[in-house]
Amino acid sequence: MNYNFAGQCNHALGQFEEALAHYNIAADKHMKQLKSNSMLEDALRSDILFNRGQTYAAIGNHENFKKAIMDFESAIAIQQSIN
């Protein structure tokens, strides 16, 4: 199952907690590797973090905004390492 895509679908339907659950599964699956094997894997990691950050921001509250910023910053760092 593509958990990143499932998370995007949940987010679009306003099912934010379900979206976070799917993004967390995707993150656990793809973030465990310390070194990436490919540029595509790095792009997927960045995408998962960015999407999860959007969901945290959509939920709101101070703690979720901090989590969103951390995910956005991590996604940016990965993208910069690709380029």
CA distances from 12 to 29, 59, 62 (A): 22, 13, 22
Residue 76 has pLDDT above 80, yes or no: yes
pTM for the full model? 0.86
Q: What domains appear along the chain, each with residue ranges and CATH number?
A: 3-82 (1.25.40)
Residue 70 has pLDDT above 60, yes or no: yes
Question: Taking the C-alpha atoms of 71, 64, 22 and 6 in order, what is their torsion angle to the nearest 10 degrees?
Answer: -90
**10-52 residue pLDDT tens:** 999 999 999 999 999 998 887 766 566 688 888 889 999 999 9
Which of left, alpha, beta for 38 (phi over 0: left; psi -120 to 50: alpha)?
Answer: beta
pLDDT at 36: 60
